[in-house]
Amino acid sequence: MTALPLILTVFVACAVEAIEALTIVLAAGLTREWRSTFQGMAVALLVLAAIVAALGPTITLLPLTALRLVVGALLAIFGLQWLRKAILRATGYKSLHDEASAYLREVAAAKAAATSSRGRVHDWYAFTLSFKGVLLEGLEVIFIVITFGANQRNVGAAVIGAAAAVIVVAVTGVLVRAPLAKVPENALKFAVGIMLTSFGIFWGAEGAGVAWPGNDAALLVLVPVVALVALCYTVLLRRPQGVRPASAPTSASASASEEVSSS
């Protein structure tokens, strides 16, 4: 794989995670206070940097065959999970992921929470909300960067794609000071699920000893095949318009629980 497809794949995947982190940070900062929000974000970034420093070099030293087998299996698992959720949302069996609604729920919870300080942190709620949001989404970004970069022996290109995604999302969020609700996130997750599944199958098979015809060029066939299968499932499972999902949340708390489990 050349550097450009790797950068674009990592960019799209990391952009989804960055949008979700942005939603949480904006809710904490605009509703509570920015100082504690930035403190939580800074601590989360330090933890993520420590994880990268500890795991990054170790993973890149593993034999390429074993690395591709393990990482391929993990990517296929994650990709199929993303595809499953995207298909369920597209067919009406699961509520669409709405960043505007997620933002409003976070704002409502932030307004209702009491203010308490700990040490140098003036607003502990804003600190923890920002910390957890950035840390959880950041861990997924790290996984994407390390797995794609290590498998292609081009971590630099993967880092460029991830950094570009975070910068674009962060700058856009600062300019509009609102969650990126108009971004077709389910379509992005559908595309990312296809890419993760395809690369997972490709690398896992290579790690198991399969020699793909044309080497990396086989992805030009594998990706469309996975996409076609996913689209066929979407068409076959599509619910009639006006029929609500049986598991649709009926209260604010249920809705919030759904948001946590589906992100």
Helix (H, G, I), strand (E, B) or coil at 246: coil
Check whether 87 has a pLDDT greater than 50. Answer: yes
Check whether 12 has a pLDDT greater than 70. Answer: yes
Per-residue pLDDT tens digits for 246-262: 444 443 344 434 443 44
Check whether 45 has a pLDDT greater than 90. Answer: yes
Q: What residues contact 56, with CB distance under 8 A and at least 6 apart?
A: 146, 155
Helix (H, G, I), strand (E, B) or coil at 123: coil
> In the structure encoding, which two tokens stand for residue 88, read together?
């369920």
Mean pLDDT of the chain: 80
The DSSP code for 118 is B
- Helix axis angle, 252-262 to 99-112, nearest 10°: 120
How many C-beta atoms surround the C-beta of residue 73 within 10 A?
A: 16
What's the pLDDT band for 109 if we cut at 50, 70, 90? confident
Burial-class residue 167 by CB neighbours within 10 Å (0-12, 13-18, 19+): exposed
Phi, psi values for residue 246, rounded to 5°: -65, -25
| pLDDT of amino acid 247 | 44
| pLDDT of amino acid 60 | 64
Q: Which uninterrupted H or E stretch holds 197?
A: helix 185-207
Quick check: 103 and 111 in contact, CB under 8 A? no
Phi, psi values for residue 239, rounded to 5°: -80, 150
| pLDDT of amino acid 244 | 52
What's the pLDDT band for 98 if we cut at 50, 70, 90? low
Per-residue pLDDT tens digits for 146-166: 888 877 778 888 899 999 999
The CA distance from 106 to 23, in Å, is 8
Check whether 107 has a pLDDT greater than 50. Answer: yes
| pLDDT of amino acid 79 | 87
Task: Identify the top-confidence range among 46-60, 89-103, 137-151.
Answer: 137-151
| pLDDT of amino acid 252 | 39
B/e letters for 240-250, b = 16+ CB within 10 Å, e = fewer, are eeeeeeeeeee
Check whether 131 has a pLDDT greater than 50. Answer: yes
Q: What is the pTM of this model?
A: 0.68
Quick check: 179 and 103 in contact, CB under 8 A? yes
Check whether 229 has a pLDDT greater than 90. Answer: yes
Per-residue pLDDT tens digits for 164-184: 999 998 888 777 766 665 666
